[in-house]
């Protein structure tokens, strides 16, 4: 076993990867400020939970108007741990939006978006938009009255965009009215398009974080305090 591990370390550069990802300088921060630096890792953890629970749900979900709601009932009532997995995915989606939003606020108010981390901030904003896309497309999938009309409102809001609003609404709904094409399109975007985009964005974001390092928390200017006291 030891020989196998040594072979893998030398061939796959595991030691170098470990040092690059984990043996890095983490800014010293105390109290609440220190905990705020864990929001990025918390977002990544919740994302993994969403991937796992979403994959399990997709095994029993049927993306058609005739069977979508019944498949949700089947998951809740007959699949082993189905109700628990669906609840974890549902609340995980809400929690992810909250954690990612708090992470962005932390970066903004601590000035971590400034040089040389502008690209990290831009990719982070893209990640936030992708997370919101996940929430919007996933909300329709139960295909009940609440999700149907909420998505209809969202499509109508999108249609108010100047010049291109009507085209955006048609792309979202797959036509002039919501129906089978809308549900299939949302399911495809939710399970195929957005996961691919967010995976690429996460890898770029993590690379930039490793490359530039984690920004230091804002420090109080003691010199200015002395001048003020004088």
Residue ranges and CATH numbers for the domains of the chain are 34-213 (1.20.810.10)
pLDDT value of position 214: 82
CA–CA dist 154, 171 (Å, integer)? 13
pLDDT value of position 223: 54
CA–CA dist 41, 53 (Å, integer)? 19
User: How many angstroms separate the first and last alpha carbons of the chain?
Assistant: 68
> pLDDT (tens digit, 0 to 9) for every residue of the chain, 230 residues total?
788 888 887 888 778 777 776 666 667 766 667 788 889 999 999 999 999 999 999 999 999 999 999 999 999 999 999 999 999 999 999 999 999 999 999 999 999 999 999 999 999 999 999 999 999 999 999 999 999 999 999 999 999 999 999 999 999 898 888 999 999 999 999 999 999 999 999 999 999 998 888 888 777 665 555 544 44
CA–CA dist 174, 223 (Å, integer)? 62
pLDDT value of position 230: 45
The separation between CA 138 and the C-alpha centre of its own chain, rounded to angstroms, equals 13
CA–CA dist 48, 27 (Å, integer)? 25
pLDDT value of position 187: 97
Phi, psi of 63 (to 5 degrees): -80, 65
Please check whether residue 169 is in contact with residue 158, taking contact to mean a CB–CB distance below 8 angstroms.
Answer: yes
CA–CA dist 105, 109 (Å, integer)? 6
pLDDT value of position 228: 45
Residue 95 CB: number of other CB atoms within 10 A? 16
User: Which position has the token pair 């189905």?
Assistant: 82
């Amino acid at each position: 076993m030891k020989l196998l591990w040594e072979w893998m370390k030398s061939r796959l550069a595991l030691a170098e990867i470990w040092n690059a990802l984990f043996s890095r300088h983490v800014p010293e921060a105390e109290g609440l400020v220190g905990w705020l630096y864990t929001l990025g890792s918390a977002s990544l953890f919740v994302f993994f939970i969403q991937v796992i629970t979403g994959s399990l749900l997709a095994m029993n979900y049927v993306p058609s108007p005739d069977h979508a709601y019944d498949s949700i009932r089947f998951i809740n009532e007959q699949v082993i741990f189905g109700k628990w997995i669906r609840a974890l995915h549902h609340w995980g989606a809400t929690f992810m939006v909250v954690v990612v939003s708090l992470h962005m606020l932390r970066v903004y108010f601590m000035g971590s978006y400034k040089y040389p981390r502008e690209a990290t901030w831009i990719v982070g904003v893209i990640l936030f938009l992708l997370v919101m896309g996940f929430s919007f497309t996933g909300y329709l999938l139960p295909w009940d009255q609440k999700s149907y009309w909420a998505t209809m409102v969202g499509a109508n809001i999108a249609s108010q965009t100047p010049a291109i609003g009507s085209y955006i609404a048609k792309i979202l709904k797959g036509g002039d009215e919501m129906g089978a094409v809308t549900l299939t399109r949302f399911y495809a975007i939710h399970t195929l398009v957005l996961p691919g985009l967010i995976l690429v964005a996460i890898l770029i974001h993590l690379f930039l974080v490793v490359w530039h390092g984690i920004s230091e928390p804002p420090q109080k200017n003691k010199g200015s305090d002395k001048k003020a006291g004088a």
